[in-house]
Structure 1
Amino acid sequence: MALSAENTAVGFIGTGVMGKSMAGHLQKAGYTLHIYTRTAAKAQELMDQGAIWHDTPGKLAQACQVIFTMVGYPSDVEEVYLGENGLVRSAAQDTYLVDMTTSSPQLAQRIYEAAAAEGLHAMDAPVSGGDIGARDAKLSIMVGGDAADFEAVKPLFELMGTNIVHQGSAGAGQHTKMCNQIAIASNMMGVCEAVAYAKTSGLNPENVLKSISTGAAGSWSLSNLAPRMIKGDFEPGFYVKHFIKDMRIALESAKDMGLNVPGLSLAESLYEKMSEMGYDEKGTQVLVQYYFQQA
């Protein structure tokens, strides 16, 4: 049976910077939306539009055929899925469970196995695109899990993103997201250094961007985050604290595979300095402050 808006109730756990927009797209498409947050006030905007709030993940699970999660850390993912009142214990058979948090590939595999034992369909589907991609429903979505489950949920993915790829079995989505974060980590250092160099040399950084953002140096970070750096806008599209979490997962996974990733190691160390300076709640573009303070 197709997961149409007429016959499908959708759950969404985690309505932060990105999750709120993602859940909102599902709601606007006509799906009955059920949400769980630790405090109801954080989901008030969605509730005002008709979303139904539950005070535990287990209660939400009992009302839904598809459940998406977008929480903070692997420990949160483990609690939501495998905890005493978690989704795996509470959801009805044949429910689709889709974790869109950037989390551990190994945890994704554990959740998949636990869910399969209960007759549930689990997928890991982390995303890239930040607050802008979430707002505009243009996220890149990287999916691990069974191919048939991917095809069943794909119409809902298409309400949140435009670049949607089934990467392979359970954990493959998370491994792909690690590739994404590794590429971003080194690129962010380059973008920050370019902006700092332009400013320090007396150039107009905005004019510099006009020349370099569409050439070989072009990147999403250069086009979307460098302008924020220049304006001193460090509000989060993606939190420093969450990027550090992602880099640590990638470093641990790389170590397990015997892979040396010096660029990632350097980026992680620089963001640790930003954390020590009190920037955990700022956006990743705040790294430019490290360079500005040296100039």
Structure 2
Amino acid sequence: MPPLTLPTPQLLWVRLAALLFTCVAFSVAAHGAYLPHGGMADWCIFCWAFSFACTLLVLLVERFGLQAQALVSWSNFPITVACYAALLCLSASIIFPVFFLKDMWFYNNVRDYRITSTVFSCLAAVAYMGEVTLTKARPGEISGYMATAPGLLKVCQTFVACIIFILVSNPVSYDFNSALQWCMAVYCICFIISIAIVMMCVCECTGSLPIPFSKFLSCYGLLAVLMYFTATIIWPIFQFDKRYQGRGQASSRQIAVAVLTAINFLLYLADLVYSARLVFVSG
């Protein structure tokens, strides 16, 4: 296990800033933004509240020196939390103004609350990106797997897959063709394995595999690249080609899924390249 070190003053201030920004974002939104229940409003509140709670947990554990007693790998947990929080706050910073600021018919005080939440959500995303930058592994540095480029790519892969699941499930856009069902299988299989890798690293269970962890990562990386390559080709063909369309014209959601599929293919490809040459000590 990599040696645990105390957070630097710079890292501490970045985490405190992220804690403050997320607290203000969801508090203001819940207090006076008059958001509807369900849907994207609940998603944005969840993004801010989840990020706040996880950051508070990290700060308390490090403040009281409980890293050694934690049930997770402290060389992997904080940066994993920070990376997910950065993506969550970034998504909320995009979704919240698109859904709740585009129509300016509401009262000025409600508009001000919503603008304030948007601004602090953006600030929180920047703060979490700063934390990831400060805590990621430098070349030649011994660190946990999640602090390396492949580890951070795993977080991005699972997050993009979650967005794909949301887009294809409402309405369901993959059940009228077996080729599209294959694409859905690709998304599910790769998501499950990637999130399992993240959990194994955070819980220090990588040694329980029957083969060396590095070989497992290389084999899985190659498999995921091949699977996502097929999905990147098949999804747009069977969604946008009129010969295969089963339910009218392609929607903006289906176009977004095609773009996100291509993005995840590139993420898995970069992951494979990094994993093939990276030397690390898993924590």
- On whether the aligned pair clears a TM of 0.5, the verdict is no
What's the TM-score once normalised by structure 1's chain length? Answer: 0.31
Q: Judging by fraction of residues, say which structure has more strand.
A: 1
Indicate the structure whose relative CO is greater, using CA pairs within 8 Å and at least 6 residues apart.
2
Q: Judging by fraction of residues, say which structure has more helix.
A: 2
What's the TM-score once normalised by structure 2's chain length? Answer: 0.32
